[in-house]
Amino acid sequence: MRARFAAFIAAAAVVVCGGAAHADPIRTWGSSQAPPATQGGAATSAGGASTPPPPPPATIGTPIEPVDAVPPTPASSAGDTEAVVRSPGHVGLRYVLEGIEVRGNTATLARVVLRYVPFRSGDTIDVDDSEIELTRFRLLGTGFFRDVNLSLRRGTHRGYAILVITVVERNTMVLNDVWLGLSADAEPNGAARPLTAYGGIDVAETNLAGTGITLGGAIAIADGQLALRTRFADPAFLGTSWTAEAQLLYNHARDFFGNEDVLVDDPTQQVTQDFAVANYTRFGGSVGAGHDIGVTTRLYVDYRLEKLDASLPLAASDHYGSEIVPINFFILPGSSILSTVRATLIHDTRDEPVLPTRGDFFTLVGDVSLTPLGSDYPYSKIQAHLSHWIGLPWAGHVLKLDAFAGAIFGTAPVFEKFYIGDFTDLLPDRVLDLNFDRRSAPNFLNNDISEIRYGDYALKLSAEYRIPIYRGTRSIYGIDFFGAFGVYSVADQNLITNPPPGYEGLAKLPIDLTFNFGLRADTAIGGFMFGVSNFLGFLPVRGAAPQ
């Protein structure tokens, strides 16, 4: 077991070394290139060969010299006249690119800016090329800059030009998420508690030391529970078009099993408790790579290795319908290893990330546990999630249709299973894989969904209607009222093939309803959602399980 864990540490070290290697200067575009021969087109130039170039204007930031420059070939008079090319019927001009100059970058390295520029010294640049404007938006899209402007200035010889990229940097420390809420959990001895608070925060520096690398961290805390994450992401790993990611995680977690009347064997005696409590820790990490497949689609592949240590009751039993059955904690007692490979496909055609009015967001995720490489949990898992936004023809109203389906085959650890609280809006979601709540499903339809907490199969269909109530252009861009309604099911193999005794007819179908309403806001510091269902979840509206 220790050897396998040491192997993970070695793998993590390789990732760190890879990141350090990336800090070295990368390629210098065009450094070995001579200006190419003049391209075709009508060659016109007035004024002969040797107009002296004007001195470069004062530089705002660093560097002063073109960061990507190639000395022009000593030009003959014929070459000089051919270097400026005018397309027939267009105002458009073409120049031989002598270099690229980056200005205004006090923190961001010039080579990081140049990653997003598709031109090289020696290229013939057509001023009408749409790539020039797209370059500006690529740079804005990094999130490193508040403004970006591109311009040309004369090169050292007629027909040559230097591309000047002027950037205005912005704060790149980003608050990604804040979690605050109330939950109903249990004491370490299994006694139910009415209310406890939980919270967490997620921050990231998206341009670490001007390298374009993202380094982030997150923490979630509840009574007796702690989750920590650090994540590294390089969107242009080693100057390539591949994204590289690495993450370290630590969870000290507690989970609750049973339904307010369980029998638990501890080492000395058998006692009756409200809930059986399982404690476990996770430590490990993942490394991965991602690549674009077209403008709207991206593929990621990750490898994960974790060491688990679980402290479980010797035995515990609970009601399953009208029967008493042993509780499965879905995690091995003592130490165990989890090793998986995950592939994620993302297809995103939304017009806006926070308050979309049209488009789709589709994710397909597949996990395979690598038992030949030492994983103690043989399983595979697949999840598909599709959201579709439809802009309605009246007053900016938007309808969102949402579908999720997932299945697990094999023996997955508890935190990989489908948790009922992730599908109903009336219970807190898991945060960084921590589960804060002991309650079962609300069970509005009074069926056997109250018997399940973690499942191997999950399905959810929902719709959300949004009504705009405010639109702005400064710090708050928009606020919408939303109302959502959905139906979901979580089940495992046992619930399907061996329904709990006491349920008849449609009550054997583990289906429940969920709803939420509140406000969604798009602001200068990100998107927010204020829903009321978490509080409504504390109202006693649940269906009762048969005893």
| Residue 88 interacts with other proteins (CB under 8 A): yes or no | no
CA gyration radius, the chain: 30
Give the residue carrying structure tokens 């449609």: 506
Sequence-distant (≥ 6) Cβ neighbours of residue 540 within 8 angstroms: none
Stretch of residues binding other proteins (CB under 8 A), selected from 29-37, 147-155, 305-313, 452-460: 147-155
Among 396, 468, 527, 546, binds other proteins (CB under 8 A): 527
d(CA 142, CA 139): 5
Asked if residue 501 binds other proteins (CB under 8 A), the reply is no
- Provide the minimum distance between the beta carbon of 347 and other proteins in the complex, in angstroms, as a whole number: 10
Q: Which has the closest alpha carbon to 309: 273, 342, 284, 340? A: 284
Site string for other proteins, 91-110 (x = CB under 8 A): xxx-x---------------
Using CB under 8 A as the binding rule, the residues of this chain from 162 to 191 that contact other proteins are: 174, 176-177, 179
Shortest distance in whole angstroms from residue 466 CB to other proteins: 16
SS3 content of the chain, % helix, strand, coil (to 5): 15, 50, 40
Give Cβ neighbours of residue 226 (< 8 Å, ≥ 6 apart). 219, 220, 250, 251, 252
State the minimum distance, in angstroms, from the CB of residue 147 to other proteins: 8
In this chain, which of 113, 117, 204, 420 binds other proteins, going by CB under 8 A?
A: 204
Residue of 214, 317, 336, 440 interacting with other proteins (CB under 8 A): 214
Min dist. Cβ of residue 386 to other proteins (A): 12
Burial class (CB in 10 A: 0-12, 13-18, 19+), 409: middle
Q: Which residues contact 498 (CB under 8 A, 6 or more apart)?
A: none
Can you tell me which of 73, 151, 328, 371 binds other proteins, judged by CB under 8 A?
151
Cis, bond preceding 194 (omega within 30 deg of 0): no
Written as six digits, the tokens of 420 are: 């009922």
Residue number with CB closer to other proteins (28 or 363): 363
The residue within the footprint of other proteins, chosen from 11, 248, 354, 445 (CB under 8 A), is 354
Number of chain positions touching other proteins (CB under 8 A): 84
Q: How far is CA 94 from CA 82, 83, 220, 302, in A?
A: 10, 8, 56, 44
Per-residue contact track with other proteins, 429 to 468, x per CB under 8 A? Answer: xxxxx-----------------------------------
Distance CA 82, CA 159 (A): 8
Q: Does 4 bind other proteins (CB under 8 A)?
A: no
Q: H-helix or E-strand containing 82?
A: helix 77-83
Least Cβ distance, residue 292 to other proteins (angstroms):
9
The interface region with other proteins, picked from 19-27, 277-285, 310-318, 350-358 by CB under 8 A, is 350-358
Nearer to other proteins, 81 or 317 (CB): 81
Beta strands 93-103 and 68-69 are antiparallel
Only segment of 28-36, 226-234, 312-320, 538-546 that touches other proteins (CB under 8 A) = 226-234
Give burial (CB, 10 Å; 0-12/13-18/19+) of 190.
buried
From CA 417, how far away is CA 409, in angstroms rounded? 10
Exactly one of 73, 371, 383, 446 binds other proteins (CB under 8 A); that residue is 383
Inter-residue contact 457 to 492 (CB < 8 Å) = yes
CB of 318 to other proteins, least distance (A): 27
Min dist CB 532 to other proteins, Å, is 17
Determine the Cα–Cα distance for residues 269 and 174; give it in Å rounded to an integer.
51
- Provide the mask over 409-428, with x wherever binding to other proteins is found by CB under 8 A and - wherever it is not: -------------x------
Output the smallest distance, CB 204 to other proteins, in A: 5
Among 114, 103, 100, 111, residue whose Cα is nearest residue 168: 103
How far apart are alpha carbons 216 and 203 in whole angstroms?
6
Site residues for other proteins, 28-87, by CB under 8 A, read 45-47, 51, 84
Q: Which of 128, 180, 197, 471 binds other proteins (CB under 8 A)?
A: 128
Q: Tell me: does residue 327 bind other proteins (CB under 8 A).
A: no
Site for other proteins in 263-302 (CB under 8 A): 288, 290, 295-296, 298, 300, 302
115 binds other proteins (CB under 8 A): no
